[in-house]
A and B are shown apart, each in its own frame.
Chain A
């Protein structure tokens, strides 16, 4: 990745007077961590970077201002925000645009063709206790990980994020400025959800009850999700209270299934929910299954076009209806 062109793009975005700040990545406070960063001027652009360690999505920051405002920069309505997006993030943006959740003219999208990112949890499990700021580079199917005076070569597939293993859209689908050349997508055959699909109803019930029983309801999966941008979330409703606050297997199941249904045909596959989970819930299994079903039943893939109509708002005589009881 050519960092110069990345920073140049951020500078170019900022040089447009109507751009308030650029949301990007900066090095984290320790080890392999990367932090979101909000660059407002050229000096701050120098702190931006991109590497395979950038495993987080920044798209939720576009709606965070609406839901839990901060108005740090005193952005006026006519000002724009610049944002770094990878392939999956661009799908999230497209999807939100198609739902009229954000306004295209308010964004300067800096697209980063993505070769896949590292699963930081896997990396930290391999190298526990690393405090020195680490670097990661990719070459010929291998990652070189450096921290302190040490350097390690690791096979790409060993630490690649699961969400990247089957990514069909690594190159941003919507952008104003594109860094580097396009990356070829993979043919996604949904191999990862096969065991779930082949399991019996009883086995699946057992599996998910078990998984959800350890959820601590911190709502990190919802808050990190770019598509969970409702101003009034069902979870905070008190009258009627659809989901009770009690943390128990029943309410946890209702919480996660409500979220899964609300994301059906909307999830862009960025994997944020799974990445942020402190108790490692395999939430992408649900999202992936829904994505596959919506694709096979309605021939709809969320986020590939900012103008496409939602599958639930359109009707076609050829629509599948075998699941209607």
Chain B
């Protein structure tokens, strides 16, 4: 694996060297940081720290038109956004990069989903290590690390005055070659500093939970009254699912205007009242308890059964942004104690 050093002041030049790609990065927009396409690098405020919103939407937009139709001519147009250019996503946190490895089989197996896959294969992922974990970060409990390479093509690790660049894949190598004049080879001393920094960040992660035997445990408690206890304070909003990098439920609706319309795919949330509501009026998950159970079952049981990996990267967003202190770790602890 090749390793390079990029001085911090050359970061903007590095991004400019990638102008043949469409660039996506976390940028500051008023009150929040969002992952968005960057059209002009100068004047853009980048924010590589924690973000409330994940980069999931770049591959799997919250709202996506699958096609449009015209009711007069019966014409249909495929309107899904197929990337015209190769894309670079810069500044992902390692947890968010891992989330794409969890989403990939969902959109690849059974029914390959061209809308996700076209964007996914056209995107090179460049991560930046996590240097300031959230209060509720627990990536190390679910197989991650603040400097995990999983899912990434290149990983930048922040040193005091520079970035330590690890080349992970052939696509990552192409990127490095395009910006080669800005990079120098990393020395063993720099690698040592990097290792120390990564270790220090790992120690900053305070929250943890042993998740090894959770699936067997969860399987046995489907009818347990604990779900009511856990769900009683839940207000049924979509914050935990919409800020989650691995939640992928969606709804499909035809939005018709005069003379035509479009078929829209829109994120759904298992916390919503109308989620799995049948046309008959029956809902197999009628209360908050079944919905909260569904989310925990899906992430820590069904995803493992089907894809061999938990549907959680430990980013802690569902805990940090929950308005009523539904705490996933606390809830899992209570389940384990049963």
Contact = CB atoms under 8 A, between A and B. Distances in A.
Interface of A: 28-31, 33-38, 56, 60-61, 64, 67-72, 124, 128-131, 210-211, 214, 216-220, 222-224, 236, 244-248, 275-276, 278-280
A279 B323 CA distance: 12
B195 interface: no
Contacts of A236: 273-274
Contacts of B330: 29
A220 B234 CA distance: 11
24 contacts: A28-B325, A29-B327, A30-B135, A36-B324, A37-B233, A38-B233, A61-B233, A64-B236, A64-B288, A67-B273, A72-B228, A128-B135, A129-B135, A129-B204, A130-B135, A216-B53, A217-B62, A218-B239, A219-B237, A245-B251, A247-B63, A248-B63, A278-B242, A278-B243
Given A64-B235, A218-B238, A219-B238, A224 B264 contact: no
Given A35-B233, A36-B233, A70-B287, 16 more contacts: A37-B233, A64-B235, A68-B236, A70-B231, A129-B204, A131-B135, A131-B206, A131-B207, A218-B239, A219-B237, A220-B235, A220-B238, A236-B273, A245-B63, A246-B255, A278-B242
Interface stretch (B28-36, B92-100, B180-188): B28-36
B215 to A, nearest CB: 23
B136 interface: yes
Nearest to A64: B235
Nearest to A72: B228
B237 A220 contact: yes
Contact of B269 (A72, A130, A218): A218
Chain B interface helix/strand/loop/mixed: loop
A229 B194 CA distance: 54
In the complex, the 9 A-B pairs of residues with the closest C-beta atoms, listed nearest first: A220-B237, A276-B323, A218-B238, A35-B325, A280-B31, A29-B327, A28-B325, A223-B235, A223-B237
B253 interface: yes
A245 B319 CA distance: 26
Contacts of A219: 237-238, 272
Nearest to B326: A35
Contacts of B235: 60, 64, 220, 223-224
A131 B228 CA distance: 26
Interface residues of B, number: 51
B30 A210 contact: yes
Contact of A279 (B52, B135, B228, B253): B52
A214 B323 contact: no
Contacts of B132: 128-129
B319 to A, nearest CB: 8
A219 B29 CA distance: 21
A163 B48 CA distance: 31
Contacts of B269: 218
A217 B53 CA distance: 13
A5 B232 CA distance: 26
Contacts of A131: 135, 206-207
B228 A70 contact: yes
B233 A70 contact: no
Contacts of B219: none
Given A30-B136, A68-B236, A236-B273, A220 B29 contact: no
A29 B232 contact: no
Counting chain A CB atoms within 10 Å of each CB, the highest count among B236, B274, B324 belongs to B324
A245 B274 contact: no
Interface in B221-251: 228-229, 231-233, 235-239, 242-243, 251
B329 to A, nearest CB: 8
Interface in B245-277: 251, 253, 255, 264, 266-267, 269, 272-274
Counting chain B CB atoms within 10 Å of each CB, the highest count among A28, A216, A275 belongs to A216
A280 B32 contact: yes
Contacts of B253: 244-245
A177 B278 CA distance: 44
